[in-house]
């Protein structure tokens, strides 16, 4: 394992962008803090609506440095809370419209990738989530039934149908949903950045922000950029901004990647349509077959760091990497002694009620989007389109969606935050262990729901 790269697989062959060397404008129409998907999609759609708008995107590191350049590459209609919960907060028709918007967003990402000639390896093969014990199968069947209720495309596959798609061990069945595509995350970031610059947007990398205030962005250098509208697109890094430490909890997700897998082995594994894949355990795992026939595989399991701390050292946890390699080898023993070539990680953002949100406060001119809980590759596109409409004063179906203007409660102060988040992780792992032994839905499942607020 000593050959594992410390940078994300997705960054291979790509140089680290140099800090912005141009003259930053003193005043703009819109200043966007954060050069990930949310910031770039917002700038892209805003400049499409208003080509003459002055838009600047600033990022402390470089475009795609955070989760946007490190994730598992699932462009999916997944949402951290179920449509039942959405309907409970609004109504059934609103929830149905929201689900349709999420599914349409997957295709919208593919459409822009094609239109802008972005080489991002976009393949809409759907997502397959296998059930590997009776408890997982019960959850999977219930999910398929819920999918039919909400018309989201989820179907149950019996064992024979499932193993044709993915010949994992212990498969009892699977759910399949067509509304997911595989993508190369960093290539998508770089393609979006080019499209924004081509439309006149300024992307100032290596530009650290000290504070976001009504009408201005104050840089760490002391310089001020005045703006009619300021958009906070900082996701996990929101916790570093003054007054916002409890708004979003940064929780780490880590990944590993194999060397290219020979075609003869792929013939025994499946994923011939480049489906993304997972299983129905409580501790989230996720994988994809890459364009060069590797497996990029990730999951939760890294601890939350007290005080919403973020640091480069937390991107690498040998115990979690070992667990991921073991999990993948257990899932797909056909891989044999395949070499693991990369291991990396990074923080994602979680709101206290697990509800992502997007909005624009007309009284301050400050907008935001985030709290995607790891489901942001597509949701950021929906956020960018929605923010563009809100900024331009356009009343549209997007601005009526139920996540617009949602305000999540703050996380608990420390040490309660540290205790609660890490307790949730331990309970999820314990529930999976219980189910692997008993084959029945874990009694700890209720405790997990209480800890995660959904």
122-158 pLDDT, tens digit per residue, is: 999 999 999 999 999 999 999 999 999 999 999 999 9
Confidence at residue 19, expressed as pLDDT on a 0 to 100 scale:
95
Residue 418 φ then ψ, to 5°: -60, -45
- Say how many Å lie between the first and final Cα of the chain, rounded: 38
Confidence at residue 6, expressed as pLDDT on a 0 to 100 scale:
81
Is the model's pLDDT at 3 over the cut of 60? no
Average pLDDT of 162-170? 98
- pLDDT tens-digit map of 259-309: 999 999 999 999 999 999 999 999 999 999 999 999 999 998 899 999 999
Distance of CA 451 to the CA centre of its chain: 21
pLDDT range class, residue 447, cuts 50, 70, 90: low
Helix, strand or coil, per DSSP, at residue 355: coil
Q: Please answer whether residues 419 and 451 qualify as being in contact, where contact means their C-beta atoms are separated by less than 8 angstroms.
A: no
DSSP structure class, residue 410: P
Under 8 Å CB-to-CB from 167, ≥6 apart: which residues?
268, 269, 270, 332, 334
Q: Please answer whether residues 233 and 219 qualify as being in contact, where contact means their C-beta atoms are separated by less than 8 angstroms.
A: no
Compute the 3-state secondary structure of the chain and give helix, strand, coil in percent, each to the nearest 5: 40, 25, 40
Is the model's pLDDT at 444 over the cut of 80? no
- pLDDT tens-digit map of 316-341: 999 999 999 999 999 999 999 999 99
Helix, strand or coil, per DSSP, at residue 321: helix
Is the model's pLDDT at 451 over the cut of 80? no
Let me know how long the chain is.
454
Confidence at residue 1, expressed as pLDDT on a 0 to 100 scale:
40
Is the model's pLDDT at 2 over the cut of 50? no
The CA radius of gyration of the chain, in Å to the nearest whole number, is 21
User: C-alpha distances in angstroms, 448 versus 134, 142, 236, 426?
Assistant: 19, 18, 22, 9
Global pTM value: 0.96
Residue with tokens 């394992």: 1
Q: Which tokens is 314 given? A: 């937390």
Confidence at residue 449, expressed as pLDDT on a 0 to 100 scale:
59
Is the model's pLDDT at 117 over the cut of 70? yes
As a whole number of angstroms, the distance between CA 170 and CA 193 comes to 43
- pLDDT tens-digit map of 204-254: 999 999 999 999 999 999 999 999 999 999 999 999 999 999 999 999 999
- pLDDT tens-digit map of 31-65: 999 999 999 999 999 999 999 999 999 999 999 99
As a whole number of angstroms, the distance between CA 432 and CA 441 comes to 9
- pLDDT tens-digit map of 432-441: 988 888 888 8
Confidence at residue 448, expressed as pLDDT on a 0 to 100 scale:
61
Q: Are strands 202-205 and 55-59 parallel, antiparallel or unpaired?
A: parallel
Residue with tokens 């994809």: 288
Identify which of 404, 451, 391, 412 has the alpha carbon closest to the alpha carbon of residue 97: 404
Q: Are strands 216-219 and 209-213 parallel, antiparallel or unpaired?
A: antiparallel
Q: Please answer whether residues 214 and 203 qualify as being in contact, where contact means their C-beta atoms are separated by less than 8 angstroms.
A: no
Confidence at residue 323, expressed as pLDDT on a 0 to 100 scale:
97
As a whole number of angstroms, the distance between CA 136 and CA 285 comes to 14
Average pLDDT, the chain: 95
As a whole number of angstroms, the distance between CA 36 and CA 57 comes to 10
């Amino acid at each position: 394992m000593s050959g594992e790269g410390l940078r994300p697989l997705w960054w291979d062959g790509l140089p680290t962008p140099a800090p912005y060397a141009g003259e930053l404008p003193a005043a703009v129409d819109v200043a966007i803090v954060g050069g990930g998907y949310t910031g770039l999609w917002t700038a892209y759609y805003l400049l499409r609506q208003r080509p003459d708008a002055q838009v600047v995107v600033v990022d402390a590191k470089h475009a795609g440095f955070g989760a946007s350049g490190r994730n598992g590459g699932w462009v999916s209609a997944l949402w951290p809370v179920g449509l039942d919960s959405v309907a409970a907060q609004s109504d059934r028709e609103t929830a149905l419209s929201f689900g349709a918007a999420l599914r349409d967003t997957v295709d919208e990402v593919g459409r822009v990738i094609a239109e802008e000639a972005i080489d991002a390896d976009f393949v809409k093969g759907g997502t397959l989530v296998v059930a590997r014990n009776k408890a997982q199968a019960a959850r999977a069947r219930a999910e398929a039934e819920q999918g039919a209720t909400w018309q989201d495309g989820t179907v149950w596959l019996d064992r024979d149908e499932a193993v044709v798609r993915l010949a994992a061990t212990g498969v009892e069945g699977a759910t399949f949903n067509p509304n997911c595509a595989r993508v190369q995350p960093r290539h998508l970031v770089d393609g979006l950045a080019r499209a924004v610059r081509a439309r006149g947007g300024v992307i100032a990398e290596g530009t650290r922000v000290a504070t976001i205030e009504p009408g201005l962005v104050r840089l760490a250098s002391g310089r001020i950029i005045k703006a009619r509208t300021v958009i906070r697109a900082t996701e996990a890094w929101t916790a570093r901004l003054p007054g916002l430490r409890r708004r979003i909890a940064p929780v780490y997700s880590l990944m590993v990647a194999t060397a290219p897998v020979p075609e003869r082995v792929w013939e025994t594994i499946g994923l011939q349509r480049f489906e993304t894949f997972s299983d129905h355990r409580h501790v989230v795992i996720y994988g994809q077959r890459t364009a060069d026939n590797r497996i990029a595989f990730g999951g939760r399991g890294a601890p939350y760091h007290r005080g919403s701390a973020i640091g480069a050292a937390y991107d690498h946890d040998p115990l979690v990497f070992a667990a991921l390699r073991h999990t993948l080898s257990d899932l797909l023993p056909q891989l044999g002694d395949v070499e693991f070539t990369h291991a990396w990680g990074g923080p994602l953002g979680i709101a206290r009620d697990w509800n992502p949100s997007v909005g624009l406060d007309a009284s301050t001119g400050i907008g935001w989007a985030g709290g995607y809980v790891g489901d942001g590759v597509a949701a950021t596109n929906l956020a960018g389109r929605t923010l563009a409409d809100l900024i331009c004063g356009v009343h549209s179906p997007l601005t009526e969606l139920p996540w617009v203007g949602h305000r999540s409660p703050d996380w608990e102060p420390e040490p309660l935050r540290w205790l609660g988040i890490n307790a949730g992780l331990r309970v999820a792992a314990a529930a999976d262990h219980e189910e692997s032994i008993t084959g029945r839905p874990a009694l700890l499942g209720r405790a997990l729901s209480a800890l995660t607020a959904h």
